[in-house]
Chain A
């Protein structure tokens, strides 16, 4: 018997501009104990379908036709109170972005208890405490976590709490909406294994929503591929991965960058790279730089020289909290180092005068993670492009600005007619992120700091945006520091890779060595944690998490560095 049967489901969003068909004629069933992955890019209707099961469609969405049957209950026939009772008890929801899914002013255990109380009426503290401890333990969290507040937990722990909540009333169906999208690879693997483990224990059906084919391949039994609200392909995971029928499925599979696989960058050998460095003076230099916040060491002392004569892409990889973003903010001069000096073209950033500082800002540009937060929503996107260009004195005339904006848009693969003159909310995440790259490009900087530039855009777009960034190197002679947790893309774009662990360089060298053939255990762990769209490659077992934790502990104490060779124009030294 199946846990969930969806038949001919259509969901409409009536808007002033006409009805949007978010989901059309979708039929699918999820068996008990089965894991089904809904995969597709944003706007494909995967989350909308899941929310329809919960009857939690955002306004003005409504089910136009079809049926949703959970066990033997017709979900669409339930009234509001009956539906409320079915939530959590019969179908639970594990939300995306665990960062903000818990009420900040309630203790964890209170947020587990109120769920139980709302459905069973139990208010006996001892009983509630026993059950919340049990639920926390089932997801690998100690019982004392219950007494904490959400802000005291890491992202991975918060997501585990959400999983504990999702299984606490042993529902028939669990819907997990990109439960690991905000987590780094190591944590992602642990959380996914926990989810699979508890789901198997209670024998519930699982709908896993996502856009990463690799993660899907390693996590689900069946795959449902959605595009523009239509189910384009559905079947056993192995069959779909190995023999995809629909071109869109093939595209999703090929968009996953592989270490050692074929490069997504078509490296045409064209004009030799533009040389824009000052001979003899390194473009960027760290001299014994370290950073501490209070008692916490974010970055241990390190020195490097990037000469910039031949533009390079240096990747800095690591988990969250490894110190990679700290490095980025030190380079941008947002933060002074605790010890040592950060120099740009021989000048210490911290002691620059106003004129030098302005020149530095011109020459060093940044692309950040969140393409939504980078634009002021009140202005058209032109403003973000035009303003720095004018402010730094590049603009000769309005026509010149316009010409440059169009040129920059074209360089990142956007049609200027389509994007210029629009407001940020009218553009997709991918378009916005490319505009951010275009903005940086207009100023023709010598150095670009790209901090997780593609981690918030759909997998299918990542390759294109990275290609845009990669092209800047040779075509415009821009040296790039690429900060990421994604080793597979770092492998393809970089000339040199630095793996950071707890503020310490674990391994460094050319990507073919460091990522292609890692020597340091930490790099190996990062690579093992990547979910591959390859079913014959093991992604670990539930016990992996404990082993990994022990490994990480030991590595933190060892503090050793593997140097794996050099590239001309970049010198790294670790004190």
Chain B
């Protein structure tokens, strides 16, 4: 078994750190380019709630001081960096005074559960289907999957979500319309709760699966066609190997390699892609949190969620970089140059 050289590991870690650092800086800069003053928004919200606010100038100043908005930008930036390292994204302006990290901590497990479930299911179904589209021995029926995959890929997830809700939740009543778990069940490590979660998660997951499997299937199809023409597949056939064995060990095994890289990149993108799905299913995940935060111009939450997305993408790329040489012997852990 190979081992990972320390210099390579350090190099990758440095890249990981730099990626996260640059991205964190960007998500700090971008909202500050917006002309909106979050203190004024809060004041507006208070005014809307109470009818009128006396001494608004003093309250504004107080709010700015509380959020550190009256510091020079550079100090704000340094404070932000220090806080980010400890996952302290400050307090939400919309649901003041809840810490952003608490909001994320509540939402993240839901999203990760939904996302990992749907991503893995899609990855397996999509790639298998893509492989079967090319394989000579597969049933003719699979060929039908090509137009189907293309149609589904071009549907926005919000529509597939609405369609599924209408069929399976509103008409057939097989699944609940919204929510992450039943109102009557107590969250905890019980079977009842677990079943409720799966029951509620099924439709949102399915709506993600049916619009994304085409991405994998069509990508895999292209890769498989290339692999099918390779000399080693011809030789495998000439060796009299069993067709199924050739499919797995010679074709899929080689064609899947670029898909694994794509998988790592998709991890981060998926939270963003899930925003509307979570929104229509009223699923309390990161997507809904981000959606609400954008509506409320809740900068700390937007920053926090964006940071988590970046961190997850960078981490999954980092992990794939480390494991790639183990799944493709031609790639080596190049020591840093």
Whether A101 and B231, one on each chain, are in contact in the complex, defined by CB atoms closer than 8 angstroms, is yes
* Interface hit among B193-201, B240-248, B313-321: B240-248
> Is the CB–CB distance between A87 and B235 below 8 Å?
no
Question: B235 near A118 (CB under 8 angstroms)?
Answer: no
Chain B residues contacting A165 (CB-CB under 8 Å) are 235, 239
Query: Which of A54, A118, A151, A162 meets B241, CB within 8 Å?
Result: A118
Give bound CA distance, A224 to B230, whole Å. 29
Binds A, one of B35-43, B150-158, B249-257, B295-303: B249-257
Is there an interface contact between B240 and A149, defined as CB atoms closer than 8 Å?
Answer: no
* Distance in angstroms between the alpha carbons of A102 and B239 in the assembled complex: 11
Q: Does B232 contact A (CB under 8 A)?
A: yes
Hey, which chain B residues are within 8 Å of A118, CB to CB?
239-242, 245
Of B236, B240, B241, B254, which is within 8 A of A105 by CB? B254
**Chain A stretch 48-100: residues in CB contact (< 8 A) with chain B:** 54, 56, 84-89, 92-93, 95-97, 99-100
B236 in contact with A54 (CB, 8 Å): no
The answer for the CA separation of A98 and B243 in the assembled complex, in Å, is: 22
A-B contact pairs, 22 of them (CB 8 A): A56-B234, A56-B238, A84-B243, A87-B240, A88-B239, A92-B239, A93-B235, A95-B234, A100-B232, A101-B232, A103-B236, A104-B232, A104-B328, A104-B330, A105-B254, A105-B328, A105-B329, A106-B249, A114-B239, A114-B249, A118-B239, A118-B241
Q: Which residue of A84, A96, A100 contacts B242 across the interface (Cβ within 8 Å)?
A: A84
CB-CB under 8 A from A151, the residues of chain B are 329-330
In the assembled complex, the Cα of A103 lies from the Cα of B328 at a distance in Å of: 11
Name B206-248 residues within 8 Å CB distance of A.
230-232, 234-243, 245
Contact flag A87-B238 (CB < 8 Å), given A103-B249, A105-B253: yes
Query: How far does the Cβ of B145 sit from chain A's closest Cβ, in whole Å?
Result: 21
Does A140 touch B at the CB level, under 8 Å?
Answer: no
A97 CB, nearest partner CB in chain B, Å: 6
Please tell me if A119 contacts chain B, counting CB pairs below 8 Å: yes
Indicate if A115 sits at the interface (CB-CB under 8 A). yes
Q: How far, in Å, is A362 (CB) from chain B's closest CB?
A: 34
Asked if B232 and A88 make an inter-chain contact with CB atoms under 8 angstroms apart, the answer reads no
Please state if A104 and B239 are interface contacts (CB–CB under 8 Å): no
Secondary structure at the B interface, as helix, strand, loop or mixed, is helix
A563 to B327 CA separation, bound complex (whole angstroms):
51
Docked CA distance A95–B239 (Å): 11
Contact with B along A112-152 (1 / 0, CB 8 A): 00110011000000000000000000000000000001010
| Chain A proximity of B241: nearest CB distance (Å) | 5
Which residues of A are found within 8 Å of B231, using beta-carbon distances?
95-97, 99-101
Bound: A532/B249 CA distance, A: 42
Bound: A92/B237 CA distance, A: 11
Query: Is B329 a contact of A85 with CB atoms below 8 Å?
Result: no
Q: Which residues from A are CB-within-8-Å of B236?
A: 103
Tell me how far the C-beta of B260 lies from the nearest C-beta in chain A, rounded to whole angstroms: 12
CB distance from A333 to the nearest CB of B (A): 23
Are the C-beta atoms of A92 and B249 separated by less than 8 Å?
no
Task: Report if A95-B240 is in contact (Cβ < 8 Å); known contacts: A101-B231, A103-B254, A151-B329.
Answer: no
Contact, CB under 8 Å: B235 / A95: yes
Contact of B250 (CB < 8 Å), options: A87, A103, A115, A162: A103
Min CB gap B117→A, angstroms: 29
Most chain B CB inside 10 Å of its own CB: which residue of A56, A99, A101 = A101
Q: Which residues of A contact B330 (CB under 8 A)?
A: 104-105, 149, 151
Residues of B that sit less than 8 Å from A by CB: 230-232, 234-243, 245, 249-250, 253-254, 327-330
Docked-complex contact A119 and B240, CB < 8 angstroms: yes
The answer to whether B239 touches A103 (Cβ under 8 A) is no
Closest 4 pairs between A and B when the two form their complex, measured CB to CB: A87-B240, A93-B238, A100-B231, A149-B329
- A residues sitting closer than 8 Å to B (CB atoms) are 54, 56, 84-89, 92-93, 95-97, 99-106, 114-115, 118-119, 149, 151, 162, 165
Contact between B240 and A84, CB atoms less than 8 A apart: yes
Q: A100-B231, A103-B249, A106-B249 are in contact. Are A87 and B237 (CB under 8 A)?
A: yes
User: How many angstroms from the CA of A236 to the CA of B250 in the assembled complex?
Assistant: 41
Contacts A87-B238, A103-B249, A114-B245 known; 19 new A-B pairs at CB < 8 A: A54-B238, A56-B237, A56-B238, A87-B239, A88-B239, A88-B240, A89-B240, A92-B239, A95-B238, A97-B231, A100-B231, A101-B231, A103-B253, A104-B330, A105-B254, A114-B239, A118-B239, A118-B241, A118-B242
Cβ–Cβ < 8 Å partners of A119 in chain B = 240
Chain A residue at minimal CB-CB distance from B137: A80
Minimum C-beta distance from A140 to chain B (A): 20
- Min CB distance B228 to A, Å, is 11
Whether B232 and A103, one on each chain, are in contact in the complex, defined by CB atoms closer than 8 angstroms, is yes
Which residues of the partner chain A approach B242 to less than 8 Å between Cβ atoms?
A: 84, 118
Chain B positions within 8 Å of A96 at CB level = 231
Q: Inside 8 A of B249's CB, which chain A residues have their CB?
A: 103, 106, 114
- In the assembly, what is the distance between CA of A258 and CA of B328, in Å? 45
- Across the interface, do B239 and A115 meet the contact criterion of CB distance under 8 Å? yes
Most buried by B among A86, A114, A151: A114
A115 close to B254 (CB less than 8 A): no
Cα separation A149 to B330 with both chains bound (whole Å): 8
Task: Check if A86 sits within 8 Å of B240, measured CB to CB.
Answer: yes
A104 contacts B254, C-beta separation under 8 Å: yes
- Complex CA–CA separation, A93 to B238 (angstroms): 6
* Chain A residue with the shortest CB-CB distance to B327: A105
Chain B nearest CB, measured from A131 CB (Å): 15
How many Å from the CB of B155 to the closest CB on chain A? 31
Complex contacts, A97 vs chain B, CB 8 Å: 231
Q: Which residues of B contact A86 (CB under 8 A)?
A: 240
Q: Which A residue's beta carbon lies closest to that of B253?
A: A105
When distances are taken between beta carbons in the complex, the residues of chain A under 8 Å from B327 are 105
Tell me, in angstroms, the Cα distance from A97 to B139 when the chains sit together.
Answer: 32
Assembled-state Cα–Cα distance A115/B249 (Å) = 13
Which residue of chain B has its CB nearest to the CB of A90?
Answer: B240
Shortest distance from the beta carbon of A6 to any chain B beta carbon, whole Å: 18
State A106–B329 Cα separation when bound (angstroms): 8
User: A88–B238 contact, CB under 8 A?
Assistant: yes
Q: Which residues of B contact A87 (CB under 8 A)?
A: 237-240
B236 to A, closest residue via Cβ:
A103
Nearest CB on A from B323, distance (A): 14
Docked complex Cα distance between A103 and B250 (Å): 6
B240's partner among A85, A99, A102 (CB-CB below 8 A) is: A85
**Contact flag A162-B238 (CB < 8 Å), given A104-B330, A149-B329, A151-B329:** no
Q: Which residue of A lies closest to B241 (CB)?
A: A118
User: With the chains together, A115 CA to B240 CA distance in Å?
Assistant: 7
Identify the interface centre among A56, A96, A103, A104: most chain B CB within 10 Å of its CB. A103
- Chain B residues with CB under 8 A of A95: 231, 234-235, 238
Q: Which residues of B contact A99 (CB under 8 A)?
A: 231
CA distance A149 to B328 in the complex (A): 10
CA distance A162 to B231 in the complex (A): 12
Q: Which residues of the other chain, A, contact B254 by a CB distance below 8 angstroms? A: 103-105
> Beyond A114-B245, A114-B249, is A102–B232 a contact (Cβ under 8 Å)?
yes
A104/B234 in contact, CB under 8 A: no
In the assembled complex, the CB of B1 is this many whole angstroms from the nearest CB of chain A, namely: 12
Smallest distance from the beta carbon of A456 to chain B beta carbons, Å? 16
Residues of B with C-beta under 8 A to A105: 253-254, 327-330
Residues of B within 8 A of A89 (CB): 240
Residues of B contacting A56 in the complex (Cβ-Cβ under 8 angstroms): 234, 237-238
How far apart are the CA atoms of A458 and B225 in the complex, in Å? 28
Minimum C-beta distance from B49 to chain A (A): 63
